[in-house]
Structure 1
Amino acid sequence: MKYLDVPHFARLNTFLDTVDVGNYVVCGGLEAYSCKLAGLDKKLSRSLDEEIQMESPPSVLAESPVGPTGESASRKTLIYLILTLNHALPDYDFSQLRAHHFKRELDLSLLEETVQRHLSEIAKVWESAPDVNDLSFLESVRKAIDEAIELNSCEVYQYRPDVDADLFDDEGKLWSFAYLFYNRKLKRTVMFGCRGVSKIARRKSATLCSDSSDTESDVDYGMAAEMDV
């Protein structure tokens, strides 16, 4: 997959890199990718396709969040989701994920409610920024994703790791979410993920954040290094 430079993501990603909301810090970001495969991605895609097909139920009618995995189109969707996570979070290997690790989001309004609930505090910070435009934070995110991938033409999935096998689980994570948007026609994906990190807990664990100094305000949060989903 190829990383796509989306200008409208730049300002949002700069803002989401570190947002101090008092007792905790929010970090996250948005990334877009082309689904054109080459090199290692193509090799992994073939391997995953074979594995998923072998593991698929014998009935082609057996459903999953991405559709019947006995069908090529459904397996391709799942593979694109896996590859997107691999690229967005390169410190981890998501090749063992399967369809049950994702939830299809059919109602965008419910998704927006979840995002708003988690990000209500940083929305206040956004509104107080000196260079903010007339759009709210959530409106700005929606507009940016729409311009990158045509939101109304997308399939939307939430990544839901197994509780006992969550690579990112740690005591500092207060909450997290990761949504993946897939436009079949454009052959493009977008990942939007954020998490809340306790300031107290992050001082105890180097895996939570990469401190560039001892002060709370000088923490370097990156999507690949810091997104717990």
Structure 2
Amino acid sequence: MKYLDIPPLQRLNAFLKSVDVGEYVLMGDLEAYSCKLAGLDKKLSKSLDAEVQTGSSPLELSASPVGPLAESSSRKTLIYLILTMNHIYPDHDFSLLRAHHFQKEETVSKAEEAIDSHLLEVSKVWAKTPGLGESPFLECLWSSVDEAIFLKECDVYSYKSDLETDPFGDEASIWSFHYFFYNKKMKRILYFGCRAVSKQAADEATDTSSKYDRYNQDDTDDDSDRYGMATEMDV
């Protein structure tokens, strides 16, 4: 799958990476991908397709949240959902996910309503942020998403975290949501996931990250001094 560089989404994604809403910090990901497979994705797709066919129950083969798994189109949908998760969270392997880990939403509007209800406090922060609040957050969000994926043509799926084998179930998490907007005609999928994390845990994570960055920076500087002469000689 190929990450799609869409400026309006990048702007929103940068804002959503860490939003302090007072009681908690919201951490979000908003990214779109092409469903054209190549390289490792293509190889994994073939192995997943075989595993899904042989490992699914008769009931799943006839009906599942992504459609009858006896049909190749339904298996492709499941594989795209799995691969998208792998791309967005590369430190975790979602290859063991199956159709029952997902749910097909009744309508796009139902998904929009659920997302909007979680992001009311985020909208207030957006409005107060210089350079961002010229238009309402939710208006910017959905116009950008529609531009990227054309919502009227989408099927919407959600991932239900099992809180154990994914990155969303640590003790610091208060709530989370994970939606996939899949446009078969465009061969695109857009993922929008957010989780609320306690402020204390978020601060600790930031401190740890800062220390790690300083440690790496020191190592990099040392390595540059130590190996600078060799590099020059190589050149």
TM-score (norm 2): 0.83
Distance in 2 of aligned mates of 1:137 and 1:56: 42
Q: CA–CA distance in 2 between the matches of 1:83 and 1:61?
A: 21
Q: Deviation digits for residues 170-224 of structure 1, max 9, x if unmatched?
A: 11101111111111111111111111110123456x5x885427xxxxxxxxxxx
Quick one: percent identity of the two aligned structures? Answer: 57
Q: Distance in 2 between matches of 1:8 and 1:121?
A: 21
- Return 5+ residue gaps in structure 2 as ranges: 212-235
Q: Map of 1:142-221 to 2, 5 A cutoff?
A: 142-203=142-203, 206=205, 211-212=209-210
Q: Give the match for residue 226 of structure 1.
A: none
2:25 touches 2:202 (CA, 8 Å); kept in 1? no
- Distance (Å, rounded) in 1 between the aligned partners of 2:203 and 2:19: 17
Paired position in structure 2 for 1:136: 136
Mapped partners of 1:93, 1:25: distance in 2: 25
Q: Tell me how far apart the structure 1 counterparts of residues 190 and 207 of structure 2 sit (CA, whole Å).
A: 24
Question: Within 1, Cα distance between the matches of 2:162 and 2:60?
Answer: 25
Structure number with the higher helix fraction is 2
* 2:190 aligned counterpart, secondary structure: strand
- 1:148 Cα deviation (Å)? 0.7
Aligned residue in 2 for 1:22: 22
Change (3 A) 1:200 1:61: closer
1:116 and 2:128 matched: no
Alignment check: 8 A CA contact 2:61 2:69 kept:
no
* Cα deviation, residue 120, structure 1: 0.9
Aligned-partner Cα distance in 1 for 2:60–2:150 = 30
Q: TM-score, normalised by structure 1?
A: 0.85
> Which amino acid in the other structure matches residue 98 of structure 2?
R
Which residue number corresponds to residue 48 of structure 2? 48
AA matched with 2:200:
I
Task: Report the aligned-residue RMSD.
Answer: 2.0
1:68 maps to which residue? Answer: 68
1:76 CA displacement: 0.5
Taking the aligned partners of 1:143 and 1:58, their CA distance within structure 2 comes to: 41
Give the C-alpha shift of residue 55 in structure 1: 1.9
Displacement after TM superposition at 1:164 (Å): 4.7
Q: Deviations over 1:122-145 (max 9, x none)?
A: 100111223236542122111111
Q: Please say which of residues 131-140 and 61-70 is displaced more in the overlay.
A: 131-140
Q: Distance in 1 between matches of 2:130 and 2:59?
A: 57
SS in 1 for 2:75: helix
Report deviation, 1:29. 2.2
- Matched residue of 1:169: which SS? coil
Q: Distance in 2 between matches of 1:87 and 1:14?
A: 17
Cα pair 1:57 1:70 within 8 Å, conserved:
no
Post-superposition CA distance 1:48-87 (Å, at most 9, x none): 0000011233368721110001111100000011001111
**CA shift for structure 1 position 105:** 1.1
* Secondary structure of the corresponding residue to residue 212 of structure 1: helix
Partner of 1:221: none
Alpha-carbon separation, structure 2, partners of 1:49 and 1:156: 21
Which runs of 5 or more residues in structure 1 are unaligned? 214-229
- Measured in 1, the distance between the counterparts of 2:161 and 2:37 equals 25
What's the CA shift for 1:24?
Answer: 1.2
